[in-house]
């Protein structure tokens, strides 16, 4: 795994009327992944986009689509997102009674599987899942909305999960999502994160700023 921090802009902060262009713009600006926030108005108090939009956006970038599902139930939609072109599919263990089955389902479609931990969810939740997953996503805000403030208690959790990942000896990505700015990015990275989701901080200032915003988040 390269040491460079990956930046995954959340298209939640993009101009929804011009989503294809926005995806092309962040791709050209040097992002690593495209983070897609899927919300159902039930698991989280907001509604965003579904598989049809993922499918429509797919031709606009060759970069990995990092699909963050904030929906319950989750299993019945996994194939739709896999078919739509998701590369990484992450879900919250609270979204269904059988998270391990959901991991197996995601992998059955040849996709990378991620577990998302809400701010209150302990790292221990990963004990019997970590050997089977490709990514851990630590929420540093409560899921549902962009533009919230980073919850610092999550830094300890990131440190703990980094140790768990090292013990496995496997290449598991450790991603952080919510309130990432040029102030909080270095904290998350020092705690052990290797991938940062950033909505507000990527899209601020409009298209001409995207490349500089992404570089700044990487600490360049």
Show the tokens assigned to 81. Answer: 């997102």
> In angstroms, rounded to a whole number, what is the distance separating the alpha carbons of residues 59 and 53?
11
> In angstroms, rounded to a whole number, what is the distance separating the alpha carbons of residues 217 and 184?
9
Active site residues: 37, 177
Closest approach, Cβ 123 to ligand DX5, in A, equals: 19
For 154, the enclosing helix (H) or strand (E) is: helix 154-168
Residue numbers 97-136 binding Zn ion by CB under 5 A: none
How many alpha carbons fall within 13 Å on the CB side of residue 89?
A: 27
Among 37, 40, 66, 134, the residue binding Zn ion under the rule CB under 5 A is 37
Q: Which is nearer to ligand DX5, 122 or 147 (CB)?
A: 147
> In angstroms, rounded to a whole number, what is the distance separating the alpha carbons of residues 39 and 54?
13
Closest approach, Cβ 162 to ligand DX5, in A, equals: 20
Residue numbers 86-145 binding ligand DX5 by CB under 6 A: 141, 143-144
Interface with ligand DX5 by CB under 6 A: which range of 15-23, 102-110, 118-126, 175-183? Answer: 175-183
> In angstroms, rounded to a whole number, what is the distance separating the alpha carbons of residues 158 and 53?
31
Pairing of strands 34-39, 112-117: unpaired
How many alpha carbons fall within 13 Å on the CB side of residue 165?
A: 20
Q: Which residues contact 59 (CB under 8 A, 6 or more apart)?
A: none
Q: Which does 115 bind (CB under 5 to 8 A by kind): ligand DX5, Zn ion, none?
A: none
Q: Which does 146 bind (CB under 5 to 8 A by kind): Zn ion, ligand DX5, none?
A: ligand DX5
Q: Which is nearer to ligand DX5, 113 or 188 (CB)?
A: 188
Residue numbers 35-64 binding ligand DX5 by CB under 6 A: 35, 37
Residues that bind Zn ion (CB under 5 A): 37, 68, 177
Residues that bind ligand DX5 (CB under 6 A): 10, 12-13, 35, 37, 68, 141, 143-144, 146-148, 177-180, 197-201
């Amino acid at each position: 795994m390269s040491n460079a921090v990956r930046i995954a802009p959340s298209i939640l902060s993009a101009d929804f009327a011009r989503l294809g262009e926005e995806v092309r713009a962040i791709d050209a600006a040097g992002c690593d992944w495209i983070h897609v926030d899927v919300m159902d108005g039930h698991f989280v108090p907001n509604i965003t986009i579904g598989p049809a939009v993922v499918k429509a956006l797919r031709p606009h970038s060759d970069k990995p689509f990092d699909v963050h599902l904030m929906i319950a139930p989750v299993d019945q939609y996994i194939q739709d997102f896999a078919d739509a072109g998701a590369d990484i599919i992450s879900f919250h263990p609270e979204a269904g009674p059988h998270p391990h089955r959901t991991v197996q389902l995601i992998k059955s479609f040849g996709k990378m599987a991620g577990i998302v931990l809400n701010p209150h969810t302990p790292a221990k939740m990963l004990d019997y899942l970590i050997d089977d997953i490709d990514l851990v996503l630590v929420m540093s805000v409560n899921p549902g909305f962009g533009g919230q403030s980073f919850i610092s208690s999550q830094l300890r959790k990131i440190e703990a999960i980094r140790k768990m990942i090292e013990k496995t000896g496997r290449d598991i990505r450790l991603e952080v999502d919510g309130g990432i700015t040029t102030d909080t990015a270095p904290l998350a990275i020092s705690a052990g994160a290797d991938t940062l989701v950033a909505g507000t901080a990527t899209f601020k200032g409009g298209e001409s700023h995207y490349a500089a915003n992404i570089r700044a988040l990487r600490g360049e």
